[in-house]
């Protein structure tokens, strides 16, 4: 019978095994996966019913067709209850047997496919649940009334709410009050096609910070779509029953912060956190538009810190940056809430003053700025005082555009710089003319340096007791191709401001030392040469080496060179400047204070700095008139020179009375028009070669005086 069934049921893709006993069947079933077993009830050893129970327990995927000659109905019932899919009695019809086997195998395949699909579906559902629960986004569903039906666990970490707190509550519970009108359309979206709302920015409330003065807000983009009953029986989308809304809210708080940071950095200075040039100009243009409509007054202040470069050069850029931040903080305290303080670049700041009542308001604020900067700053543990030069331009009288107002405020600031700094000025049309002339003159000065258009004039310094020339002061002149011979007061300040002064210094030093060397070769006396030096030179690291280089080049002894400085340099109590002065002093180079007593005279710096001599300013000499008491200041200067054992020279001597009085007071060396005005080197050489007995004191030489305030 087994052999006949084997032949009957054989076919492609089928592997048929035969077993004569229940034990053999169990061994075969254990060794491989079997789809269908044809089983008789009566078997040697284990019965077919017991084998079927084993199959049901250990191979659940195996189907059983009971084939038996047992006529007992109970056996058939037991077989069917045990899991048999069919019960066929012997003898059986061959076609019926084939059909039952085909049906059993087909059903087995369907069950396998269904089991596989169920497993896949369950896996998909588990994956979906995992993705929803572990999503970085807030995933939710709302009912038709806008109440939460589902919300994933992200709500707990994002907003601090548990899911139970929100289920059944309206969406407005988590929305920032000012955004509820926008949230109404986003959270209760009914559309589900490409018109559905996406990426709407809404602020959500953090539960943990609701009781704080400033609660933390989460910025999220919400995308939502409507959910409809697909089994409503209607083919029309609008006729389907609306069930609620499915949506996703994505936290973009960090992205918004990054965008705000990028936006802030684009419009603010990274060092001071003040508005930068672009933002300042934008606000200025906005204020001008309002002022044009309302007939208002707008002010612009251009602030430049004086001597700030000295901090960077002396203490380093890190200290300079700290100083800028401290200055910015003080300036904030000087402006109104509606004003704009901006950092232009370097040591430059600007202030926008909208809605002024009068022009004097801008001057008041400029004065406040100068006052608040008077207190010293701490730079590397030392006190440092910084001042500012402030230019003021007003709309509408000084310009009707942002660019023009900024330019004119800048021009006014440079006028302050050239007038002594630490002050403020309002722009005038005359400044603009002077500014254009200054730019033109600066370009011509660059050309003059390139083409050596300078000349040196010399003014003799006379020893009254020795009746001889003991020194010469070198005074630079510019032989301008159009304006003729220009004194240093016409171009030295501009040269300092434009950074050209060092080039002029190099030319003056080389020319003066060369001329001195030539006179010494011709035996024209042991003279000293006085050269005026800008304070900016002492800020340069190579200044001492440049002096040494000129002395070595022309084989001059150091004591024949006298460097004249102004008292302004001594105000900067900087160790590097003192060190340079001591190096020069140790070489033998003389250092004199020019125009002594006219600025910030201090006995302290005469003690600290290696000064060789002081020059009495011509303003004090001019006060010496017959019948008028000698100024006590002059007596004080002479006493200071004696007390500190300093050499003394009086300049600007023009009358015999002045010469006689100074000599009686104890001042032996003098220079001025009484003896000689500044003259070219050829004339000096002729003077030196003549007998000094012929050099008689003269009264003021006719003609215009050339200023002795020189470089």
Enter the tokens of residue 392. Answer: 């003021």
DSSP annotation of 430 reads H
380 — alpha (psi -120 to 50), left (phi > 0) or beta?
left
The pLDDT of residue 418 is: 77
The continuous run of DSSP H or E covering 683 comes out as: helix 681-689
Give dist(CA 424, CA 405) in Å, integer. 16
How many whole angstroms separate alpha carbon 211 and alpha carbon 205? 11
Pairwise CA distance, residues 671 & 648, whole Å: 11
Of 305, 297, 345, 302, the residue nearest 323 (C-alpha): 305
In whole angstroms, give the CA distance from residue 114 to residue 61: 12
Cα dist from 401 to 280, 406, 434, 482, 663, whole Å: 13, 9, 21, 35, 62
Structure confidence at residue 385 (pLDDT): 87
SS3 call for 438: helix
pLDDT at 508: 93
Q: Which helix (H) or strand (E) holds 686?
A: helix 681-689
How far apart, in whole angstroms, are the C-alpha atoms of residue 687 and residue 27? 139
Structure tokens at 312: 């960077």
Q: Which two tokens stand for residue 434?
A: 């002077």
Residue 76's closest CA among 63, 64, 87?
87
Question: Please, are residues 198 and 138 in contact by the beta-carbon 8 Å criterion?
Answer: no
Q: What is the per-residue pLDDT for 704?
A: 29
3-state secondary structure 480-529: ECCCEEECHHHCHHHHHHHCCHHHHHHHHHHHHHHHHHHHHHCCCCCCEE
Residue 188 has a pLDDT of 85
Contacts of 499 (CB under 8 A, 6+ apart): none
- Flag residues of the chain having pLDDT under 50: 691-711
Residue 336 tokens, joined: 């109104």
Do residues 288 and 401 lie in contact, with contact meaning Cβ atoms separated by under 8 Å?
A: yes
Q: Which residues, in sequence order, are CB contacts of 699 under 8 Å at separation 6+?
A: 654, 655, 656, 674
pLDDT of residue 342: 94
H or E, element range at 99 = helix 94-133
Q: Give the C-alpha separation, 606 to 9, whole Å.
A: 127
Q: Is residue 422 left, alpha or beta, with left meaning phi > 0 and alpha meaning psi from -120 to 50?
A: left
Q: Nearest 5°: CA angle at 382, between 376 and 386?
A: 35
Helical segments of 176-272, H only = 180-187, 253-267
pLDDT at 708: 32
Around 101, how many Cα atoms within 13 Å sit in the side-chain half-sphere?
20
The sheet with strand 340-345 has its strands ordered as 340-345, 348-356, 297-305, 388-395, 423-426
In 3D space, the residue among 251, 232, 233 whose CA is nearest the CA of residue 243 turns out to be 232
Q: In the beta sheet, which residues pair with residue 167? A: 148
CA contacts within 13 A on the Cβ side of 610: 18
For the record, the structure tokens of 596 come out as 């002594």
pLDDT of residue 284: 95
The pLDDT of residue 434 is: 67
């Amino acid at each position: 019978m087994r052999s006949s069934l084997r032949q009957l049921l054989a076919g492609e893709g089928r592997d048929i095994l035969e077993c004569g006993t229940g034990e053999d069947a169990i061994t075969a079933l254990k060794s491989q996966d079997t789809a269908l077993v044809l089983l008789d009830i009566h078997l040697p050893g284990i019965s077919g019913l017991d084998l079927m129970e084993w199959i049901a327990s250990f191979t659940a995927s195996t189907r059983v067709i009971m084939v038996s000659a047992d006529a007992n109905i109970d056996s058939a019932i037991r077989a069917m209850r045990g899991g048999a899919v069919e019960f066929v009695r012997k003898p059986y019809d061959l076609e019926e047997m084939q059909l039952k086997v085909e049906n059993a195998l087909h059903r087995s395949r369907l069950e396998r496919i269904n089991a596989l699909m169920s497993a896949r579906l369950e896996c998909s559902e588990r994956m979906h649940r995992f993705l929803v629960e572990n999503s970085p986004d807030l995933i939710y569903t709302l009912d038709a009334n806008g109440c939460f039906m589902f919300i994933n666990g992200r709500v707990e970490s994002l907003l601090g709410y548990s899911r139970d707190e929100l289920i059944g509550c309206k969406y407005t519970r988590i929305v920032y009050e000012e955004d509820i009108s926008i949230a109404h359309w986003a959270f209760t979206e009914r559309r589900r096609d490409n018109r559905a709302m996406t990426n709407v920015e809404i602020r959500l409330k953090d539960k943990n910070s609701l009781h704080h003065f400033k609660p933390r807000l989460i910025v999220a983009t919400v995308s939502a779509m409507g959910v409809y009953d697909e089994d409503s029986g209607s083919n029309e989308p609008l006729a389907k029953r609306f069930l609620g809304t499915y949506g996703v809210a994505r936290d973009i708080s960090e992205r918004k912060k990054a965008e705000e940071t990028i936006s802030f950095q684009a419009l603010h200075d990274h060092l001071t956190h003040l508005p930068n040039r672009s933002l300042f100009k934008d606000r200025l243009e906005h204020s001008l538009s309002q002022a044009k409509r309302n007939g208002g007054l707008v002010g612009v202040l251009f602030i430049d810190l004086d001597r700030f470069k000295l901090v960077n050069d002396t203490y380093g850029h890190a200290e300079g940056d700290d100083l800028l931040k401290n200055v910015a903080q003080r300036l904030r305290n000087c402006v109104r809430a509606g004003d704009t303080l901006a950092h232009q670049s370097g040591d430059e700041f600007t202030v926008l003053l909208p809605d002024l009542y009068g022009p004097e308001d801008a001057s008041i604020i400029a004065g406040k700025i100068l006052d608040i900067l008077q207190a010293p700053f701490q730079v590397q543990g030392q006190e440092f005082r910084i001042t500012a030069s402030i230019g003021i331009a007003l709309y509408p009288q000084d310009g009707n555009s942002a660019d023009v107002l900024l330019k004119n405020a800048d021009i006014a600031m440079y006028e302050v710089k050239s007038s002594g700094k630490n002050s403020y000025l309002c722009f005038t049309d005359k400044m603009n003319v002077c500014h254009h002339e200054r730019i033109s003159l600066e370009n011509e000065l660059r050309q003059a340096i390139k083409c050596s258009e300078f000349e040196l004039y010399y003014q003799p310094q006379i020893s009254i007791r020795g009746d001889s020339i003991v020194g010469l002061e070198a005074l630079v002149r510019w032989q301008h191709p159009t304006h003729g011979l220009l004194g240093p007061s016409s171009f030295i300040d501009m040269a300092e401001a434009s950074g050209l002064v060092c080039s002029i210094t190099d030319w003056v030093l080389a020319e003066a030392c060369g001329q001195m060397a030539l006179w010494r070769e011709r035996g024209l006396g042991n003279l000293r040469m006085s050269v005026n030096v800008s304070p900016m030179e002492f800020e340069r690291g190579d200044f001492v080496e440049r002096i040494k280089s000129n002395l070595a080049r022309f084989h001059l002894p150091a004591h024949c060179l006298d460097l004249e400085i102004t008292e302004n340099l001594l105000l900067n109590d900087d160790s590097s400047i003192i060190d340079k002065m001591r190096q020069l002093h140790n070489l033998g180079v003389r250092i004199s204070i020019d125009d002594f007593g006219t600025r910030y005279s201090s006995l302290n710096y005469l003690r600290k700095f290696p000064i060789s001599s002081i020059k009495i300013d011509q303003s004090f000499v001019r006060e010496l008139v017959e019948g008028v008491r000698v100024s006590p200041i002059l007596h004080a200067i002479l006493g200071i020179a004696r007390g500190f054992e300093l050499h003394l020279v009086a300049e600007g001597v023009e009358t015999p009375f002045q010469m006689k009085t100074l000599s009686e007071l104890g001042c032996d060396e003098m220079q001025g028009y009484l003896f000689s005005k500044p003259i070219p080197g050829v004339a000096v050489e002729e003077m030196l070669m003549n007998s000094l007995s012929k050099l008689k004191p003269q009264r003021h030489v006719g003609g215009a005086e050339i200023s002795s305030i020189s470089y």
